[in-house]
Amino acid sequence: MKVIEYNRIGNPAEVLEVKEIASRAPGEGEIRVKVLATPIHPSNLLQISGQYGTRPSFPASPGAEGVGEVAEVGAGVGHLQVGQKVLLTGVGGTWREEITAPAQSFIPIPNGDVEQLSMAVVNPLTAHMLLAGIKDLQEGDWIIQSAANSAVGEYLIQLAAQRGIKTINVVRRQSLETRLRELGADVVLTDGPDLAAQAKAATGGAGLVLGVDSVGGETFARMLQSLSQGASLVSYGVLSMQQPALDLASVIFNDVKVQGFWLAKWFETATPEETKAAFGAIIPLIASGAISSAIDSRFKFEDIAAAVERAAAPSRDGKVLLMP
């Protein structure tokens, strides 16, 4: 079977290789799964290029999620059957044709769009936790987010709209407004020096109780200045690759709480009940088509160099998927 690997840090288009390795039959308590679709996330590219918070052991196979079909069931496995679709959540290295691992590493899923379900973990679960795990948000509350046209941003818009939470969505290009409003965005603003003033005016006097930032740099500072007394600002990325300028006056005198969020760390500390509840909130919405994410393009494993170049392109409009 084919597997995508790398043995050194560097440009993903240059260091990633497609290799042939032997398929492994499942042992007791294991299943063998044929991978149907797996996405390329910015975090994958950052880790391969050495710009992420953790470094892998080599040889490393990227990929954090996807959808597969059970191809073979080992002894002692009774809750999964051949032909059943599963999420690739508890296994690393999903950029491969097959995965053999303990059956409890996979989550059975209902029928639905395989491509949408292949993106069901990292981005929608992050959006869900940013809405549900930072502040006790109520219907009618206002929040502000940067990089609103990102995958997490679009999921957050859809989830917030379902709960009656109003969103101010910050982007770099106003041409993105039409799509975001179709998803349920209440306000779309272009980032700039007057962002805080625009955001405060857009709410009609209502305070912004939560800010969600994945850009960093000056955008982080502007969002901090836009928040109301006692609000929270959570950072889950630094797309600008610039350290945020922290306005301590806003933190101190407005009692704004600043914190980070990393889904991998949440998985480490969440209880089984919390994990089950989070997936239970998200998977049915994706399977039913109630929430979705744009797909830019699809690539075969053999075209991995072109795939990662497209995933890193500023003109990309949606997620890039690998289809073994």
- In this prediction, residue 191 carries a pLDDT of 93
Which residue has 């603003």 as its token pair? Answer: 189
**Chain centre to alpha carbon of residue 161:** 18
The Cα–Cα gap between 189 and 214 comes to 16
155 is catalytic: no
The Cα–Cα gap between 181 and 296 comes to 19
- In this prediction, residue 81 carries a pLDDT of 95
- In this prediction, residue 153 carries a pLDDT of 96
Catalytic member of 6, 52, 155, 236? 52
- Dihedral, CA of residue 273, residue 279, residue 280 and residue 284, to nearest 10: -170
Query: Does one domain contain both 167 and 220?
Result: yes
- In this prediction, residue 155 carries a pLDDT of 97
Query: Does one domain contain both 140 and 258?
Result: yes
CB neighbourhood size of 161 (10 A): 16
- In this prediction, residue 219 carries a pLDDT of 93
Q: How far is CA 277 from CA 104, 116, 128, 270, 272, in A?
A: 17, 20, 11, 10, 9
* C-alpha closest to that of 99 among 41, 39, 47, 30: 30
Query: Does one domain contain both 251 and 141?
Result: yes
Give, for all 324 residues of the chain, the pLDDT tens digit. 999 999 999 999 999 999 999 999 999 999 999 999 999 998 899 999 998 877 888 999 999 999 999 999 999 999 999 999 999 987 889 999 999 999 999 999 998 999 999 999 999 999 999 999 899 999 999 999 999 999 999 999 999 999 999 999 999 888 889 999 999 999 999 999 999 999 999 998 899 999 999 999 999 999 999 999 999 999 998 877 888 878 788 888 889 999 999 998 999 999 989 998 999 999 999 999 999 999 999 999 999 999 999 999 988 889 999 998
Residue 82: inside a domain: yes
The Cα–Cα gap between 32 and 97 comes to 11
- In this prediction, residue 116 carries a pLDDT of 96
Considering the entire predicted model, what is its pTM? 0.90
- Please report, for the domain that includes residue 110, its CATH number: 3.90.180.10
Residue 35: inside a domain: yes
- Give the chain's radius of gyration (CA, Å): 20
Query: Does one domain contain both 298 and 176?
Result: no
Determine the structural domain holding residue 137 and report its residue range: 123-264
- In this prediction, residue 111 carries a pLDDT of 87
> Would you state the structure tokens that stand for residue 250, as one six-digit string?
């806003």
Q: Which amino acid is at 226?
A: S
- Please report, for the domain that includes residue 154, its CATH number: 3.40.50.720
- In this prediction, residue 67 carries a pLDDT of 97
